[in-house]
Amino acid sequence: MATPKAIVGVLSIGQMGFGVAKLLLAHGFHVITNVGDRSFATQERAKSASIECASSDSELVAKADYILSIVPPRDAKATAERILNIFNHEVDPRTGKKEQLYYADLNAVSPETARNISELFQQEPRCKIRFIDGGIIGGPPSPTPDTGGWKRPGIPMSGPHPLSDAPIAGRELADTLNTRYLNADIGTASGLKCTFAALSKGFTALALQSFTTAASLGVLPELQDYISEYNPSAKVRAEKGVTGCPPKAYRWVEEMNQIGQCFELEGGWPASANVFRSVASVYEQLAVTVEERGGAEGMDELEGALSALTKSLKDGNDLPKIRID
């Protein structure tokens, strides 16, 4: 067996994290994750893909050369604090490791949140971590059988420590992940992700509202006819967005809040940025609908998605706290 190029910790193995892990494994990297608090199904899925399953964050920190944080936005800071905790409570958590640990936050957070997370590490002198600000633009990596290659999302990165300069296969890792280095400022990459997601997920939120309102009025077929005639590309994009977002809606609630913070603090839109807090409520309603149904089954078709959401809206259900698995 060939020696791995580097050991990469992925937190956590959700849909995107699992795709990234498989991409790295296919390109000669060793992948490790902490499954100590994950379900049996997640543990088995990780093992089946040859991902090393650590039982604790301490084990992961001790072994990894890099950690990629890929979690729901609301968990980004807590995940960083978990890793910081290891350095606060253990004398030498990386015994035998000469190089510093690189921590790439690839979550959908605002520049301000990214800077706050970076400062957590800087405030602890014993924490030998090089922080990278990043974001993921596009869907999970997947193999393309026709070409033998991979379809990969784009990953912009920023900060004073470029991934490509890392001493342990940094250039290979940066290339494999399809990264683009922007500049030395923490927050730039997160801001780019926010501006991209505002357009893509903001449009999907508008489509959800437009389609459900048209359905309530009994004119959804006519709306679709007019869009097909006068803006066919928007019809395809809207329908794909509506059917693709139900299982992801719970993640997008906080992402919209983070976008609002980005546009307010970085873009200078103090009042107007509130629109994204309203967009967050659209995804919260959708997430609640999925929760009430016990999952998104049947919502991958337009009729099923709109029927479920319209019923939930008509029932006037309150927005309870959404369970995050």
Residues 61-86: tens digit of each pLDDT: 999 999 999 999 999 999 999 999 99
Q: Which of 186, 203, 220 is the last residue of a domain?
A: 186
Mean pLDDT of the chain: 92
Alpha carbon distance 144, 152 (integer Å): 10
Provide the pLDDT for residue 317. 56
Alpha carbon distance 22, 150 (integer Å): 10
Prediction pTM value: 0.92
46 and 118 share a domain?
yes
Quick one: pLDDT band at residue 1, thresholds 50, 70, 90? low
Domain hosting 196: range is: 190-315
The residues with which 180 forms a beta bridge, in sequence order, are 156
**What type of residue is 196?**
F
If one counts the domains in the chain, the total is 2
Write out pLDDT tens, residues 101-112: 999 999 999 999
pLDDT surpasses 80 at 217: yes
CATH of the domain at 309: 1.10.1040
pLDDT surpasses 90 at 126: no
Q: Which of 155, 186, 217 is the last residue of a domain?
A: 186
Write out pLDDT tens, residues 299-316: 999 999 999 999 999 887
CA nearest neighbour of 16 among 142, 143, 114, 197: 142
